[in-house]
Every structure is written in structure tokens, then in C-alpha cells.
Amino acid sequence: MVIEALSRRHDCSYFSCGDPEMDAYLRVYARQNQERDLRRTWVAVAEAGDPLVIGYYTLCAHCIRRESIPIQRLPRYPIPAILLARLAVADTHQGQGVARRLLGDAFRRRVAIADQVGATVLVVDALNEDVAQRLYLPRRFERTLDNPLRLYVPMATIRSAVRTAERV
């Protein structure tokens, strides 16, 4: 599996993850949002050069209310963050570790972004409690104080996870 930036050569027309909203985002809006510099999307394909998308995730700039996260010594204004706005895997590839690989790639990109632009946390709105329990909480995400499905992971935790993965 290869993860690469979404481009016109990728075929999103057959993508189906079981959630019509996530499917429509990739098929209709992901490229439009990139062209307007709103979000960036990365896609998983089976091998380099394969146009068929088997999974994707999207990142964008974000702010989170200071009162939402219990991190000490932060300023009293909205905290800069990166939002993991979307993450989905095609029905045909669910349960095969694609989501885990996409999330790992998002962590590595988040570290690269942090080297250029300040952002204290990575934030995600889990689709439901099952997704929160299976995908995010085991990877050291924490719940925000004001929404049980809004999760975050501090930059220090991401850096540690990326360093550990690089040693393996």
C-alpha cells in the first residue's frame, strides 16, 4: 500500500466506505477543497501508480477552545491545532490495517507541519463511540472536556509515536 497526495489521476468514483457523506466528500469535494486551499487530502492506493483509492484522510488548520483541553501552561486564547477532518477506508479494505496506516501517515505529516507552523494538538471528531474506541483511543488520543467524540492528541505524543515507529 502507498499513501500519496490526492491528484487528478486518482479514481475516486468507485470509493465506498459505508458512509454516504464520507464517500461524497472524496468523490465531489476533496479536489475542490484542495484547489481552494481549504484542506489537503492523501489517499491510499494498493501500489504506486494504481489509480483506485482504497482509503483517504484530510487535514486542515484549526483552532480549539482553550477550555476544551486540560493541557497545562497554555495561553488563554484559542489553541492552534490541525484537524484530521476525514478518514475513511473502502468497504473492500476495512479490517486490513488501512486506517491504522493512514493515521500513522497523518501523524508523520503532522510532525512535518509542526516544524513549519505551530499547532499544539491534532484534533479529530470521531464518527461514533465505536470508532473512538477502536481507532483513536488506543493510539493515545484523549477526549476533550466538552464533547466525548471530539478527541485530541498532543504534539509531544505524536512526536514520540513517530520516533518509536521509525525505530521499528
Tell me the per-residue pLDDT of 110-165, one tens digit each, with 9 for 90 and over.
Answer: 888 877 888 889 999 999 999 999 999 998 999 999 999 999 999 888 888 877 77
**Is 82:122 a contact under the CB 8 Å cutoff?**
yes
More confident call, 158 vs 2: 2
Residue-range definition of the domain harbouring residue 52: 2-167
Cα distances (angstroms) measured from residue 115 to each of 5, 40, 86, 109: 19, 17, 23, 10
User: How many other CB atoms are found less than 10 A from the CB of residue 32?
Assistant: 10
CATH number at residue 16: 3.40.630.30
Tell me the per-residue pLDDT of 57-81, one tens digit each, with 9 for 90 and over.
Answer: 999 999 999 888 888 888 888 999 9
Cα diameter, the chain: 47
Percent of the chain clearing pLDDT 70 (strictly above) = 98
**Number of domain units in the chain:** 1
Q: What is the pLDDT of residue 168?
A: 43
What does the alpha-carbon distance between residue 141 and residue 124 come to, in Å, rounded to a whole number? 9
The x, y and z cell numbers of residue 9, run together, are 489521476
pTM to 2 decimal places: 0.89
